[in-house]
Structures are given as structure tokens and as C-alpha cells.
Structure 1
Amino acid sequence: MHKLVEEIFGWCYPLLKKLGLGETISAYGSLAVNIFILCILSYVIYRVFRFLLVRAMIIVARRTKTRFDDLLVSNKTAKYIAHLIPLLFIYKCVPIILENFVYWENIFGKLVAIYIVLLSLWIIKTIFNALRDHLKQDSKFSDKPIDSYIQVIMIVLWLFAFVFVISKAFNITTTAMLGTFGAISAIIILIFRDTILGFVASVQVSLNDMVRIGDWITFDKFGADGDVIEINLATVKVRNFDNTTTTIPTYSLISDSFRNWRGMLNSNGRRIKRHILIKANTIRFLGDEELQELKKIQLVTAYIENRQTEIEKFNKSNNIDKTILINGRNMTNFGLFRKYITQYLSQYPGLNKDMILLCRQLQPTPQGIPLEIYTFSNDKRFENYEYIMADIFDHVFASIRYFDLEIYEMPSGKSDFVE
């Protein structure tokens, strides 16, 4: 090796030797030559293994039916593994090359070891990313918070890597490191508070099946109303129906109240629950002439006839004086209108007749008497659901005048008279 160094330095080497620097230059020259050779060998090993591993993984991915190996290729896992092999070769050669340079051997060996650990973690991350993408394509796991699980595992691995790096860099034993962490656990909890809360929330959300990817949720506190597109350790992403994205802290799913529409989507119908306000002073009893006119409305013809027979029988058996309409039993325009709406709903094709279907009167308000329609549409899709509900209430608004009823409207303050 000394002869090789002499040839490299040529004419200046004898002069350096006379000055007493020959041995030093020879040692550093030998080191430089060894490092150069090591770099060449490492690069050759890297190129060879990169070619072999990448080609082998591509061939395997093409010949297998599973998409997991395809995802490994797209995440460049083989490429990073090819980086790891020459690093291991360098790590084994460092004690030999730097045998006479103990100080540099110690530093360089630590740096290579730390780099190997970090690169190994990066390889594990690419594998987990491929696994995550693979599981999300499986219907059994597509609605599970896979990101949260992977993030928890990676946090644990990064914690172990951090302990290794510190212990390797400062020659501290693992036991001493863990003891130090125990002493500063309060600071760690403070720093990683959101991560810890997110981890706890992710576990509870998964175990209790509170939210899945693809669920439609409404979270008024954060202005979220849309589909869950991602669940990870810290946040839940919701794509709202206006195509905006809302980010919700994962812990808020168990600390605050939100609405999950999954039960409705999995049921046999979507609820329609809406009311109109009827002016109280337009509600009144119906006389025989008015009933005869209302019999022309086919949906309530049979009902009016049956009720008239029943009421007349009751009034005669109890000697009711019908010279005054209030005496005895009577039909009202409001009650008849409720029956008409019930009959209309029972024949409407867009409703699920096997679920609740009713038209009811609610508690009176200062604005009038609420008349509520409570039923379920067969079609749960947003646009079709809204069409069905609008179609029903279009008919309600148009038919109410036939029963001599009026809908309450807030006075506008604008005069109805034109001069």
C-alpha cells in the first residue's frame, strides 16, 4: 500500500519523507485509497442489487393476482432495500478500513449505524403504506381507520429508533435512556398530548364502530356535513357536499356530539319530517252541504260517508240538538284535511308503506297549528329524496284551499293595496 501511495504522490513523496511526514501521508493515503475502493464497491453492490431486486419484484408483481406486490413496486420498496445492502457492507468494512483511526472509526461507525436504522424504518414505512393501500381496496377493511393503526405502529417504532440513536450517539445504555424517559414523562405527555388523545380516540372509534370511512356525518361544531374520506391518528377528514374539506380532531368524535347517517343509509327508507303552520282561526266544523261538496274529493269520499253514518247514529241515539253545529259530534275541515293527506301519502309511490306513515297535529304555537308529515321515502339518494319531499308538499300547499284552510305566513309589512 505504501508503494501505491508513493506512486500517487510521485516526486513530492521523498520530500515529505525527509520532513518526517512520509509515514503520516502514507497512512492517510492508504486510508483515502481504501475509502475510494470501498465507495466503488458499495456503488457496484447498490447498482447490482437495485437492478436485481427491482426487476425481480416487477416480475413477481406481474405474475401474481394480488395487488399488494404491485403496491410495493409503486412505493419503491425494492429501491430502498437496495440502498440498505451496501450500507450493511460499509458497516462491516469500517472497522477494517479505519483500524488505525480509532476516533474516526467510532464516529463513522455510529453515523452508518444510525443511517441504517433510519433507512430500515423508511423501508418499513413503504411496506405499511402498500399494506394500507391494499387493505383500503378490500371491502372488509375499506371502512376501517387503517391509517390510525399504521401511525400508532410507526410512532412506537420511531420511539425505539430514537432511543437507539441517542444511546448509540452518546454511548448511553438503553436502561439509562428508559430511566431518563420515565423522569421526563410529564414533558413527553405534554408534547404528545394530541397524539395520545388521538390514539385513544382511534381505538374507541374502532372498537365501538362509531365512524367508518365512507360514512355520512354531520358535525355542527366544525361545520362538517359530508362523507368521511380519511381517519388517521390526529384528524378525521370530511368531504362536505359543497366539495370543501373539513378537518376534525379525532378526539372530538368521542368528546363531542355528532350525527352519523349510516343507520339511515342502511335502513329501508329515509325519513321525511316536515310541518306547515295552519291558521287557528280557519279551523271550523263542517256542515252537511260542505260535506256533500267535499265528497267530490275521491280520496276522502268513503271516509266522509262512513263518518257521517257513525256521527248521525251517535247524535240520534243521544238526542243531540243539531240546530247548533257545536252540539254532539262533528267533522272539522282540519281533521278531514289530515285524513286526506294520510290517504294521499298511502297512495304515493315514492314512500315505504312498511314504515311509519302519518300526518299528525303538533303542539299549537303563536304562529298557528303545526301539521306535520312523518313518513319515509323509498329512495335515500339526496336528489331523489329532495324531489319526493318537494312533490308531496307541493300537493299539500295546492290542496289546502279546498278545505277552506289557510297557511300562516309572517307579515311582510308591505301594503297589499295599490293606490
Structure 2
Amino acid sequence: MTPEFISEFLLNYNVNAAAASIIGLLVAGLYLFILALLANFVAKRFIAYVVHPVIRKTSMQWDDLLIEHKVIVRFSHIVPAAIIHFFAPALFAHTPTIASFFQLLVNIYLIVIILFVIDGVLNFTRSLWERSSMGRRYPAKSFVQAAKLVVNLIGFIFILSSILEKSPLVLFSGLGAVTAILLLIFKDAILGLVAGFQLSVNNMVMVDDWIEMPARGADGSVIDVSLTTVKVQNWDKTITTVPTYALITDSFKNWRGMSEAGGRRIKRSLHIDLRTIQFADEELLERFKRIRLLRPYLETKLEEIQKYNDGVGEELSELINGRRLTNVGTFRAYCVAYLRNHPKIHQDMTLLVRQLTPNAHGLPLEIYVFTNDIAWARYEDIQGDIFDHFLSVLPEFGLSAYQAPSGSDLEKAGLTLIKQSTDKPEAISDNTVLEPVNSASE
């Protein structure tokens, strides 16, 4: 059904020659377009009902990714291009301008389809890589995006060469003149590519890592690492987007080591009121001996102290002479024994209960251990339970936690002063030293 045949058919019905010629060209073009669409439809149905079922029935898993990323389906778009390529010269043999126009459209269409196919192949390759054990350690998304950028740039040059009817080599040679502009346009992409390469090679960050980057407001799990950005889902479910190159130029903390080690650190101090620290007298010792976790420690320690004190003799009547147990030292030993027997404490990692330098808030007793459960909520429960227990048993050792005076403490001190001045007004003078109020014990 050539345009000439249609024009002659219309002329038989006394249609204007010019109009008949235009209608003939339009009908021929519509016929070619419908033929191309029909060929594309048949090709897609063949792939959907013949090729895809065969792929799904295979025992291999990787070929299913070809369906997922529509790699084979994209090849079906080559069929209508072939139809137009072969039929257009025959249909428009007497109108070479239109035939060449269709040929130009086919060339551009084929370049675009090839770009789509390459895009699907790159997506398929990336998914195949990320399924491997190395894929999680070295994510390929940024490299795939860089490859797509280069391929699309080359495709754009080929499209321009088709439109301008010039060799692609001429356009490639002209890229040198616009290199500075290209560097400016693709600055983030180039920096991201270099940064992505360094991140992958040095194994600095990967998807599902927990990172902290206060300068960028990021504190959460990495959900995506792309060519230009890294997306971090914070713990409040907001998403922070960080430029990929910022992970190279700025500092950040990666908590992956904690996850791989299987332990999460507890580092917190109990502040002991210095006024409650004392030597352990007989009453305290008897109380200590009733604590099951302390018995092994007391047996060893008391035997060691007794051997030392045997050489001191009668001078033991003074507390300062010889060696004696203290309530804070015994409490520290209890904390160690308690943590050693705790089922949620990682016993193969550092376990310390140490004294820090006394300060205005008393004697800091730091607990430095690792839990064997790294999940945030359960970790907080474990930490809370441990310190609930330690704070509760302090009175059993004759100790109390330090607490800075509050408004109620000052009110009590004022009432005490008023009472003392009322009961013994003659005892109050400028040089009177009032009895201190122990805020921790009240």
C-alpha cells in the first residue's frame, strides 16, 4: 500500500491531486506505524509467553534477574525498528526525503533502544554482583551509575552525529574544547565516582552500616550508596542525604565493628558519696559474708589480709595500721562478680569496674563492659537492669550515691537552722558551725 497507489485511488473519486498526495503519504505512514506496533506487540507476547516461562523453569536463579530487570523485553523494541528500516524505502521510493527522514528516526530509535538495553544489562550485572558475598562489602551502585552516565553521554553524541550527519569522531574530538564545562556540570558525579571507589576499596561504608556524622546531621543506618549521595535513615525515621565525597573529606563513625564483634559497650559511672566510704567493721564483714557472690572474694582477700596483719602485732589497734577491707572496695568486687555471672554480659570482651578521679560529685565508679546483645532496645534494658541493681544494693555496703543538693535539701537546711536558732538562740553566732545536712541520706 504505497502512497502512489492511495493517491491514484483517491483521484478516481475526483479528489484534489495535492490533497490526494498528502493523504497518501499520511495513510502510508500510519500503515507503517501500525505495522511496527503490531510487530512490537507480537515480539513482546512471544517473550512473555515463550521465553520467560523457559527461564523461570530453569534451576538457575541468576537468569530470573533477566526478567526482573526486563533485559530481554527491551530487545523486543528492535523489531519495530527493523520493520521501519526495511519497509520505509519501499513505501516511499518516490519521496526520498521522507524515506531519509524515516531512516533518521530509525537510527535515533535504535541508539535509544541500545541505551535501554545496556541500562538493563548494567542493572542485571549489579543485582548479580550484590547477590554474592563480595557484593555487600563492595557495593556496585555508584560504579554502575558512572557507567550509565558515560554510556548515555556517548549515546547522545551518536544521536547528534545522526541528526547533523557528521562522523561521531568529529564530535568526540570537539569534547576537548568543552572539557571545563563538562567538569563543572558533572563535578558531583566525578567526585562521587572517586569517593565511591575509595569507600569500596577501603571498605569504609556499606548498606546497613550504622554511621554517625554529626556535622551532616546523620545518625542511623545506611540505606543507599549511590554515585553522588549516601542516604542515611536516622533513628527517628528521618532520612539524611550526604554527598558521597563528604564521607572522604569529613570524619564519621561507623559502628559496623560493634555488630561484627557481637558486643555493645556499656560505659557509665556510679558516683559514690565520699562521706559514706569507710573501713569494713565486724558488722559489715558479717553482712558481706552472707552475700553469695562475694564469698570466693572474701575467702581469698581475708586470708591475704590476715597473713599481712600477723606481722603487725599490737599496733593493729589503730585502724590506720595493717590492711583492712573497705566498703567501697568490697562493693567494687561485688560488681565484678555480678557482671561475671550475668547472662547478658559478653565474657570474652573487656570487663572492668574501676575508680576514676574523685571530684565534686563524689567518687566515680565506672562500669566498662560489653553486652552480648547489640539490639538497641534490648541493650538499654540490660544496661538499665544492671544499674537498677547496683543502685539498690549500695545501702547493703554502707554506701550511698551522691546527689547534688536540690531545692528541697536547701529548704530542709533552712528549717534546721531556724529550729536550732529557736531552741538555742544563745548558741548561734557569727562563728557557729552548723551541723551539715546529708542530702544523700535524707
TM-score range, shorter chain: 0.7 to 0.9
Q: CA deviation at 1:83?
A: 2.3
Q: 1:10 aligns with which of 9, 12, 28?
A: 12
Q: In the TM superposition, what whole-angstrom CA distance separates every residue of 1:347-397 from its partner, at most 9, and x where no partner exists?
A: 222223232222111233332222111222223333332222222111110
Alignment of 1:255-266 (within 5 A): 255-266=249-260
Match of 1:384 in 2: 378
CA gap of 1:364–1:189, structure 2 versus 1, over 3 A, is farther
Instruction: Give the AA of the match of 2:9.
Output: E
Q: 1:290 aligns with which of 276, 284, 291?
A: 284
Q: 1:337 aligns with which of 326, 331, 341?
A: 331
CA distance in 2, matches of 1:53, 1:309: 86
What percentage of aligned pairs have identical amino acids?
37
SS of structure 2 residue aligned to 1:317 = coil
Instruction: Give the AA of the match of 1:162.
Output: F
Query: Does residue 173 in structure 1 map to residue 175 in structure 2?
Result: no
CA distance in 2, matches of 1:142, 1:341: 41
Alignment of 1:190-209 (within 5 A): 190-209=184-203
CA distance in 2, matches of 1:50, 1:300: 78
Q: How many residues align?
A: 411
CA distance in 1, matches of 2:104, 2:8: 32
Instruction: Give the AA of the match of 2:277.
Output: I
CA distance in 2, matches of 1:172, 1:112: 17
Q: In the TM superposition, what whole-angstrom CA distance separates every residue of 1:154-191 from its partner, at most 9, and x where no partner exists?
A: 11110111111222222343333223322221221111
Q: In the TM superposition, what whole-angstrom CA distance separates every residue of 1:385-419 from its partner, at most 9, and x where no partner exists?
A: 22222221111101112222222223332356499
Match of 2:154 in 1: 160
Query: Does residue 233 in structure 1 map to residue 235 in structure 2?
Result: no
Query: Does residue 56 in structure 1 map to residue 58 in structure 2?
Result: no
Alignment of 1:29-40 (within 5 A): 31-32=25-26, 34-40=28-34
Match of 2:106 in 1: 112
Query: Does residue 348 in structure 1 map to residue 309 in structure 2?
Result: no
Alignment of 1:13-412 (within 5 A): 31-32=25-26, 34-138=28-132, 140-142=134-136, 144-318=138-312, 321-412=315-406
CA distance in 1, matches of 2:30, 2:338: 91
SS of structure 2 residue aligned to 1:372 = strand
Gaps of at least 5 residues in structure 1 are: 17-21
Match of 1:19 in 2: none
CA gap of 1:62–1:294, structure 2 versus 1, over 3 A, is closer
Q: Alpha carbon RMSD of aligned pairs, Å?
A: 3.0
SS of structure 2 residue aligned to 1:326 = coil
CA distance in 2, matches of 1:137, 1:284: 63
CA gap of 1:168–1:412, structure 2 versus 1, over 3 A, is farther
Instruction: Give the AA of the match of 1:393.
Output: F
CA contact (8 A) 1:238 1:247 kept: yes
CA distance in 1, matches of 2:19, 2:283: 125
Instruction: Give the AA of the match of 2:11.
Output: F
CA gap of 1:54–1:301, structure 2 versus 1, over 3 A, is closer
Instruction: Give the AA of the match of 1:10.
Output: N
Q: CA deviation at 1:192?
A: 1.1
Q: CA deviation at 1:320?
A: 7.6
Q: CA deviation at 1:92?
A: 4.2
CA distance in 2, matches of 1:280, 1:191: 66
Instruction: Give the AA of the match of 1:260.
Output: N
CA contact (8 A) 1:67 1:134 kept: no
Q: In the TM superposition, what whole-angstrom CA distance separates every residue of 1:68-91 from its partner, at most 9, and x where no partner exists?
A: 444433444444322221113313
CA contact (8 A) 2:138 2:201 kept: no
CA distance in 1, matches of 2:133, 2:98: 54
SS of structure 2 residue aligned to 1:12 = coil
Q: In the TM superposition, what whole-angstrom CA distance separates every residue of 1:83-116 from its partner, at most 9, and x where no partner exists?
A: 2211133134445545554544444433331222
CA gap of 1:4–1:170, structure 2 versus 1, over 3 A, is closer
CA distance in 2, matches of 1:380, 1:289: 42
CA contact (8 A) 2:52 2:67 kept: yes
CA distance in 2, matches of 1:77, 1:297: 71
CA distance in 2, matches of 1:302, 1:126: 68
Q: CA deviation at 1:4?
A: 4.8
CA contact (8 A) 1:144 1:213 kept: no
CA distance in 2, matches of 1:261, 1:307: 40
